[in-house]
Amino acid sequence: MLVLTEQAQKAVEEFLKKEEKSGYALRVSVVGGGCSGFQYDLSLADKPTDDDEIYRFGNVAVFVDKTSLSFLKGTTIDYVSGLSGEGFVFENPNALSSCGCGHSCEA
């Protein structure tokens, strides 16, 4: 299971409204790269692929492909705002290590 916190849900809803992307979903995936070997990727999608699992959090739909899901099971995605900036933060219990950027991990 994947968790999208209330703060993250609100951030996605606000972004979709600002970008006039009503009906779109948040696509979450893990791709090669980043300073730890893998990095998290967020994008918008208007429809799921045949390979996607679909999660719903309030008014927000999240699409995750099955390959990425194996890296993301149990992950909590939060949205934080502070002195060092704002953005999405991944708390991934499957990551062997992660770096300070919060956007990459070693799996």
Give the residue among 68, 73, 76, 61 at the shortest CA–CA distance from 5: 76
The most distant pair of C-alpha atoms in the chain lies apart, rounded to whole Å, by 41
Residue 43 near residue 24, CB atoms below 8 Å: no
If one compares 82 and 29, the residue with the highest pLDDT of the two is 29
Mean pLDDT (whole number) for 43-69? 96
Q: What CATH number did the domain enclosing 88 receive?
A: 2.60.300.12
By residue range, what is the domain housing residue 85? 3-106
Mean pLDDT (whole number) for 38-66? 95
pLDDT per position as a tens digit, 96-107: 645 554 444 444
DSSP 8-state symbol, 83: T
- Count of the separate structural domains present in the chain: 1
Q: Residue 82: pLDDT band by 50, 70, 90 thresholds?
A: confident
Helix spans in 1-107 (H): 6-18, 66-72
Residue 102, both tokens: 């919060």
pLDDT exceeds cutoff 90 at 22: yes
Q: Give me the pLDDT at residue 106, please.
A: 44
pTM: 0.84
Q: Give me the pLDDT at residue 15, please.
A: 96
Q: Residue 3: pLDDT band by 50, 70, 90 thresholds?
A: very high
Q: Give me the pLDDT at residue 95, please.
A: 76
